[in-house]
Amino acid sequence: MPKDPIERLRKLCLSLPDAHEVESWGAPTFRVNNKIFTMYAGPADQRGYRRPSAWCKAKPITQDMLLRAETDRYFAPPYVGPKGWIGIWFDGSTDWVALAALVRDAYMLTAPKRLLVLMDDSPNE
């Protein structure tokens, strides 16, 4: 797996059925059925507090649980945080197994049912 966080994130996201990348707001977003399920904020991106991070669509309960458990690793991103999305910092010791699970969950919340049946049960990381 590549060491650059965007390359690792890209590999995780694009391994999912019909997932594709679109640059929006000057940064990569990962979509299925033209809906964003994960996005990247680089170190120069003001939206990401100038720290590299990924933002994943999540259920509000998941966001709440992660924010309470690990405030140094997870955050509520601007704009989409009130809808339950979870942010994951890349400038520390990133838990790539946990991130792969969050990306997969984000995809499953976004993808149409016809694509969900194409997913396998093997881990992405």
Tens digit of each residue's pLDDT (9 = 90 or more) over 52-62:
999 999 999 99
Q: What is the mean pLDDT of the chain?
A: 88
Domain ranges of the chain: 5-116
pLDDT, mean of residues 11-32? 94
Whether 2 shows a pLDDT value over 50: the answer reads no
Task: Kindly list the distances between the CA atom of residue 111 and the CA atoms of 19, 27, 55, 74, in Å, as whole numbers in the listed order.
Answer: 9, 21, 17, 24
The predicted pLDDT at position 3 comes to 64
Tens digit of each residue's pLDDT (9 = 90 or more) over 33-50:
999 999 999 877 666 567
CATH placement of domain 5-116: 3.90.1150.30
Least-confidence region, from 70-74, 95-99, 117-121: 117-121
DSSP assignment letter at 108? H
The predicted pLDDT at position 36 comes to 97
Q: Which residues, 6 or more positions from 30, have their beta carbon under 8 angstroms from its beta carbon?
A: 9, 10, 13, 14, 19, 20, 21, 36, 37, 38, 39, 103
